[in-house]
Amino acid sequence: MSSYRILQQKKFKKGEYSILPIRMEDRYDIMRWRNEQMYHLRQNKPLTVDRQDKYFNRVVASLFDQEKPDQILFSYLQGEKCIGYGGLVHINWEDRHAEISFIMDTRLEKDFFELHWQTFLGLIEQPAFEEIKLHKIFTYAYDLRPRLYTALENSGFIREATLKDHCLIENKFVDVVIHSRIRPEIKLRKAQLTDAKLTFKWARSEAIRQYAFTKTEISWENHQTWFREKINNEQCLYYILEKNGQGIGSIRFDLDADGKARISYLLDPDSHGKGLGKGILELGMNRLKGDQPNVRSVFGDVMEENMASIKTFEKLDFLKTSKKPGQYRFEKKLKE
């Protein structure tokens, strides 16, 4: 699989759907879909096999090694089957914004248009906001597909502008509608190897260690090994909570064979007392549902003197399911 030099991750996944760097093998399907959907694309004549081959060999292949490519393109998969493609185009590295482009297999549009647009939008936010730290992503669309606006607005995009009679399509002037989404002030992103030092700082903090079950001192070498194993373990989902691009906490879900996930979360001591415990748990569980939809329930163990975490779990309707010496267990079902 080719990979983009600028991205740490090669694949972004949500349930059975994923995006990964655009594959050479998908070029003819993409050509067919584009030719079938020319009416809403900025494409004035059908693509040919020769033109498509040249574009992939000359343009697409060169994107992978660029430090600041003007576009980052992905194949959109259901399982291992490509059912669409899209990405970030017209990337403005100075102003930190990019346009979103996406088309799906034409046969899916009638019954699954909103599903695939919303899924793709959720996936593309990960490289856009988490990896390359864009401030804003937007769509520029001819006013021909009202269903697109439903999908965008359900995904948190706002209608920013309408350019009246902006383009001439088949001898008729049509509007262009622009929807945009600003990078959320507080958001979760997947933990990366570069987060090792930040998480080590938190793990050694006395304010955090007082409520940890393991009191032994943590060495940098041991933490590096542990952290690398966690972020590379498919049975562990590890996220960093960011505010305005700065890490302020983490939440981890360790999966077991029974469809349960153990929660471990913490906040930077400077962020204690600001009500962020409830926020990180809510964001974490929502992200877990998307990334691992088969998880049936989550649980967390809390020391009995950690009143802040106990209250947080109770506010989110977790049930106190057991009590061991010095600790409680809280559990919540995500699905029956």
Could you read off the pLDDT of 5-38 as tens digits, one per residue? Answer: 999 888 998 888 999 999 999 999 999 999 999 9
Q: Identify whether 93 is part of a domain.
A: yes
pLDDT tens string 127-170: 998 889 899 999 999 998 889 999 999 988 999 999 999 988 88
The share of the chain scoring above pLDDT 90, in percent, equals 68
User: Is the domain of 325 the same as that of 194?
Assistant: yes
User: Is the domain of 91 the same as that of 113?
Assistant: yes
* Residue 314's CATH number: 3.40.630.30
Q: How confident is the model at residue 203 (pLDDT cuts 50, 70, 90)?
A: confident
Full-model pTM: 0.67
Predicted pLDDT of residue 276: 85
User: What average pLDDT is seen over the chain?
Assistant: 92
Q: Strand pairing partners for 168?
A: 173
SS (H, E, C) the chain: CCCCCCCCCCCEEECCEEEEECCHHHHHHHHHHHHHCHHHCCCCCCCCHHHHHHHHHHHHHHHCCCCCCCCEEEEEEECCEEEEEEEEEEEECCCCEEEEEEEECHHHHHHHHHHHHHHHHHHHHHHHHHHCCCCEEEEEEECCCHHHHHHHHHCCCEEEEEEEEEEEECCEEEEEEEEEEECCCEEEEECCHHHHHHHHHHHHCHHHHCCCCCCCCCCHHHHHHHHHHHHCCCCEEEEEEEECCEEEEEEEEEECCCCEEEEEEEECHHHCCCCHHHHHHHHHHHHHHHHCCCCCEEEEEEECCCHHHHHHHHHCCCEEEEEECCEEEEEEECCC
User: Is the domain of 19 the same as that of 124?
Assistant: yes
Q: Say yes or no to pLDDT of 257 above 90.
A: no
User: Is the domain of 130 the same as that of 219?
Assistant: no
Q: Say yes or no to pLDDT of 1 above 80.
A: no
Average confidence (pLDDT) over 290-295: 88
* Bigger pLDDT: 40 vs 49: 49
The share of the chain scoring above pLDDT 70, in percent, equals 99
Q: Identify whether 314 is part of a domain.
A: yes
Predicted pLDDT of residue 63: 96
pLDDT tens string 42-100: 888 999 999 999 999 999 999 999 999 999 999 999 999 999 999 999 999 999 999 99
Domain count, the chain: 2
User: Is the domain of 115 the same as that of 222?
Assistant: no
CA distance 169 to 167: 6
Residue 285 belongs to domain spanning? 186-333
Q: Say yes or no to pLDDT of 210 above 90.
A: no
Q: Identify whether 6 is part of a domain.
A: no
Q: Cα-atom radius of gyration of the chain, to the nearest Å?
A: 23
Predicted pLDDT of residue 114: 95
User: Is the domain of 20 the same as that of 79?
Assistant: yes
